[in-house]
Amino acid sequence: MSFLEEKVVVITGASSGIGEATAKHLAERGSKVVIAARSEDKLQKIIGEIQSKGGKATYKVTDVTDKENIQNLITHAIEEFGRIDTLINCAGLMLFSMWDNTKVEEWEKMIDLNLKGTLYSIAAVLPHMKEQEKGQIINMGSIAGHAVGEGHGVYSSTKYAIKAITESLRKEMSVKYGIQASMVSPGVISTNWQDSVTDKDVKGVLNNMKKVAIEAEHVAKTIAFVVNQPSDILINDIIVSPTRQEW
């Protein structure tokens, strides 16, 4: 039996990478997906691909660092499909840099997107899930939220915080309201995230990571495994990483 069929899933950061792969994977298995990101062109393209295969999907242009945007996304999902079963917080930014280079603006971008964006999404969906007394919140962690490597300092800090947020959600929301709070922590994934890195001092680190990177589809399958659990089963945290990744 699949619990994916007809499940309504909201996915942030869905215009590329893990978010896009997850949206397509779930839609192919019968879920109704609501995808969100800032790029309307990319969202429209993904929706077209999903619908051409018979999938059910809609989109909402969303900046997760804007609280009103996030609330509009949640409202849109409920208006389109009547409820929200699962929220997947995929929106995130990975900007590696060395402390020597004090990339303060980049630190702020990661804090705004990785932390505030996740928190705003949780705040917007919780009242709905509390009212229906069920739901899933899946936060995107990282192996960098379990181990800190060179150049990872601030990024790892945001992912350690996601771990704390998820654990706290689980303790407060699962017993009282039946809301499942889970985290999926990917290792090195082959997406375009490296293109955003401006610190030339971490090029060696990036080159080594590229050699072992795995495709986003593998993470999408792991996320689908979490989504596919019945309401009385909670998956706490899953790490999925390349076999040859050293850390």
Other CB atoms within 10 A of residue 139 CB: 25
Nearest in space to 84 (alpha carbons), one of 179, 224, 184 = 179
Query: Which entry of 59, 120, 155, 177 is annotated as an active-site residue?
Result: 155
Other CB atoms within 10 A of residue 104 CB: 10
- C-alpha 96/C-alpha 74 separation (Å) is 31
Q: Is-catalytic flag, 120?
A: no
C-alpha 46 chain-centroid distance:
17
- C-alpha 172/C-alpha 29 separation (Å) is 31
Alpha helices in the chain (DSSP H): 17-28, 40-52, 67-81, 104-110, 117-132, 153-169, 175-177, 203-212, 216-227
Encoded tokens for 102 = 């004090």
Encoded tokens for 134 = 């069920």
Angle, nearest 10°, between helix axes 117-132 and 153-169?
10
- C-alpha 9/C-alpha 11 separation (Å) is 6
Greatest Cα-to-Cα distance within the chain, rounded to the nearest angstrom: 53
CB-facing half-sphere around the CA of 202: CA atoms within 13 A: 23
Active site positions, annotated: 155
